[in-house]
Amino acid sequence: MKANQSYEQVRGLFTQYLKENQHRKTPERYAILEHIYNYVGHFNAELLYNSMTENYRVSLATVYNTLDLMMAANLIVKHQLGGQFAQYEKNFGSNIHNHLICSNCGKVKEFSDKQIRTSIQTKTFSLFEVSHYSLYLFGLCSKCKELLHNENAKSL
């Protein structure tokens, strides 16, 4: 029930944003919004498009345009993780978290650390007011580290 209520809030915020900014309220935009808010984890535009084409008539251009609108409405966040495709995640109702990104396979894992969050939130900067932050740590996931270790062992 709570997830349904939260989606209804998101839908209301999106509708309000579209109305205030004189954008059309199309069924495709709402289908994309619903698909995103039912999805767990990070996604890219192509993944979203491919997962929707079976049940919805949307173009890749519509997906990208709708993602831009949702970012402007503060409903999703865009992450540019290295040289990979931009990835997105829901912004409404999500906890503050950080990201571990595998430099080899691109896997993204979220983590939360109270000490890091407190340090960042209590830090003051001269002539700058922080509104939000993102923390990305790059390295190797356990699978890629093991593969690299095994490849190195074979070459010896």
21 Cβ neighbours under 8 A, 6+ residues apart: 72
Q: What is the 3-state secondary structure (H, E, C) of 99-147?
A: EEEECCCCCEEEECCHHHHHHHHHCCECCECCCCCCCEEEECCHHHHHH
Question: Tens of pLDDT along 25-56?
Answer: 999 999 999 999 988 888 889 999 999 988 88
For residues 58 and 60, give the distance between their C-alpha atoms in angstroms, rounded to a whole number. Answer: 7
Question: Tens of pLDDT along 86-103?
Answer: 888 888 766 677 888 888
CB contact at 8 A, 60 and 49: yes
> What is the pLDDT, as a whole number, of residue 1?
34
The pTM of the full predicted model, rounded to 2 decimals, is 0.71
pLDDT at 24 over 50: yes
What CATH number does the domain located at 98-155 have? 3.30.1490.190
Answer whether 2-90 and 98-155 agree in fold: no
Q: What is the CATH topology of the domain spanning 2-90?
A: Arc Repressor Mutant, subunit A (1.10.10)
pLDDT at 64 over 80: yes
